[in-house]
Structure 1
Amino acid sequence: MKNAVVFIGRCVLAGLLVVLPIYLALLLLLKGMASAGQLVRPFTRLLPESLPAQEILSVLLVLVVCFVLGLAVRTRLGRAARGRLETSVFGRIPGYELLRNLTLQVAGEKNDGIWKPALVEIEEALVPGFIIEAFEDGRYTVFVPSVPTPFAGAVYVLDGPRVHPIDVPFTQAVKVITKWGSGARELVLAMESARGRDGAPAAAPGER
């Protein structure tokens, strides 16, 4: 009975981790559209009455604002302003740092190795995971997802030789997890290729 309750709880939590970001994004979009609707109302007369002019123009305005902000934060002044906001305001919001790191990874931006895909040695197997932080003594904090939910799993602190960073996109590693391991061969090949470039032989899991 206890195992069933734990299993159900984990499934509910995993579902929330998938649904919550989508829900928040839609909520923000609808809120932005409602605010933009007041601004675009005078321009709705330019479109045919058969079209939902206010909704269309509201969405376009929200997308344009997001695009302009995206361009702005890529400038030196924009990066500095974003850094101050993240430190003084957004960094105090629970979960913001996690969502920020995930967003940067999905967007393909480098983020100091945070959430870097890796293959980690758990017992006698290689397991897909993500590097969360690196210790000064060479150890790593690693997050190992539960299949097929990439953002629910377990956290391990492992010695450096048991963690093998791989040079693949974050989205590729996530896709392997969501597809029940399909595509893991490419992750192993990336690990072996990195070993070859470093001049080290590809060791089997558990070997030192």
Structure 2
Amino acid sequence: MKNAVAFIGRCVLAGLLVILPIYLALLLLLKGIASAGQLVRPFTQLLPESLPAQQILSVLLVLVSCFVIGLAVRTRLGKLARGRLERSVFERIPGYELLRSLTLQVAGEKNDGIWKPALVEIEEALVPGFIIEAFEDGRYTVFVPSVPTPFAGAVYVLDAHRVHPVDVPFTEAVKVITKWGSGARGLVQAMEAARGRDDVPAATPGDR
């Protein structure tokens, strides 16, 4: 009975961790559009009456605001402000680190904060995970998500020989988790390809 209750509790928590960030993002977006609607109301007469002028202008204002903010955080001062805000506020929100990595990957940015996909040796199995940080002695801190939500899981500190980074997009690794392991073959092939490159002996003068 206790095991069943614990299982139900874990499932509810995992589902909550998926829904909550999405709900908060949608709530923030709707609030932004509603606030923008008040600002653009004087300009609605510029568009034909057949169009939902207030809604269109509100969405455009929100998109322009996002663009301006995104442009600002690319500056040196903006990066400093964003880093301080993330450390003090956003990183305390469950799931934010994963969402940030996903957003940066989709945007095509190169950033040390992006979680690096890996296959991790846990007991006798290989499991998909993400490298969070590397120790000076070669060990890794690894996050292994649960299935099918990548917003919950376990954190391990493992020796380097048990962690195999894979050269695949972050989004592809997330899809493997959300699709109950479908597509894991691509991760294994990427790991084996990297291992094959490492096994190729370096050329010597006598080989020429």
Q: TM-score range by the shorter chain?
A: 0.7 to 0.9
Contact kept? 1:129, 1:145, Cα under 8 Å: yes
Counterpart in 2 of 1:193? Answer: 193
Q: Which stretch of the first structure deviates more once superposed, 103-112 or 91-100?
A: 91-100
Counterpart in 1 of 2:89? Answer: 90
Alpha-carbon distance, 1:12 to partner: 0.9
Q: Does 1:2 align with 2:10?
A: no
Task: Specify the code of the residue in structure 1 equivalent to 2:52.
Answer: P
Q: 1:94 to 1:21 in 2, by over 3 A?
A: closer
Alpha-carbon distance, 1:83 to partner: 3.1
CA distance in 2, matches of 1:173, 1:92: 22
Contact kept? 1:113, 1:131, Cα under 8 Å: no
Contact kept? 2:101, 2:113, Cα under 8 Å: no
Counterpart in 1 of 2:19? Answer: 19
Task: Specify the code of the residue in structure 2 equivalent to 1:39.
Answer: L
Q: 1:200 to 1:165 in 2, by over 3 A?
A: farther
For 1:115-154, what aligned pairs fall within 5 Å after superposition?
115-154=115-154
Q: CA RMSD in A?
A: 2.3
Q: 1:25 to 1:162 in 2, by over 3 A?
A: same
Contact kept? 1:114, 1:131, Cα under 8 Å: no
Contact kept? 1:150, 1:177, Cα under 8 Å: yes
Report Cα offsets for 1:13-41 as digits up to 9, x if no partner: 11111111111111111111122112100
Q: 1:164 to 1:93 in 2, by over 3 A?
A: closer
Alpha-carbon distance, 1:168 to partner: 0.9
Q: Which stretch of the first structure deviates more once superposed, 73-82 or 167-176?
A: 73-82
Counterpart in 2 of 1:58? Answer: 58
Counterpart in 2 of 1:170? Answer: 170
Counterpart in 1 of 2:160? Answer: 160
Q: 1:96 to 1:158 in 2, by over 3 A?
A: closer
Contact kept? 1:105, 1:115, Cα under 8 Å: no
Q: Which stretch of the first structure deviates more once superposed, 78-87 or 11-20?
A: 78-87
Contact kept? 1:121, 1:162, Cα under 8 Å: yes
**Which residues of structure 2 form unaligned runs of 5+?**
202-208
Contact kept? 2:21, 2:95, Cα under 8 Å: no
Alpha-carbon distance, 1:166 to partner: 0.8
Report Cα offsets for 1:88-124 as digits up to 9, x if no partner: x436744486254454345443332652110011122
CA distance in 1, matches of 2:116, 2:36: 38
Counterpart in 2 of 1:44? Answer: 44
Task: Specify the code of the residue in structure 2 equivalent to 1:199.
Answer: D
Q: 1:29 to 1:106 in 2, by over 3 A?
A: same
CA distance in 1, matches of 2:189, 2:18: 29
* TM-score between the two structures when normalised by the length of structure 2: 0.85
Contact kept? 2:116, 2:131, Cα under 8 Å: yes
**Paired positions, count:** 200
**Secondary structure of the corresponding residue to residue 141 of structure 1:** strand
Task: Specify the code of the residue in structure 2 equivalent to 1:195.
Answer: R
Alpha-carbon distance, 1:85 to partner: 3.8
**Secondary structure of the corresponding residue to residue 151 of structure 1:** coil
For 1:70-109, what aligned pairs fall within 5 Å after superposition?
70-87=70-87, 89-90=88-89, 93-95=92-94, 98=97, 99-109=99-109
CA distance in 1, matches of 2:159, 2:133: 12
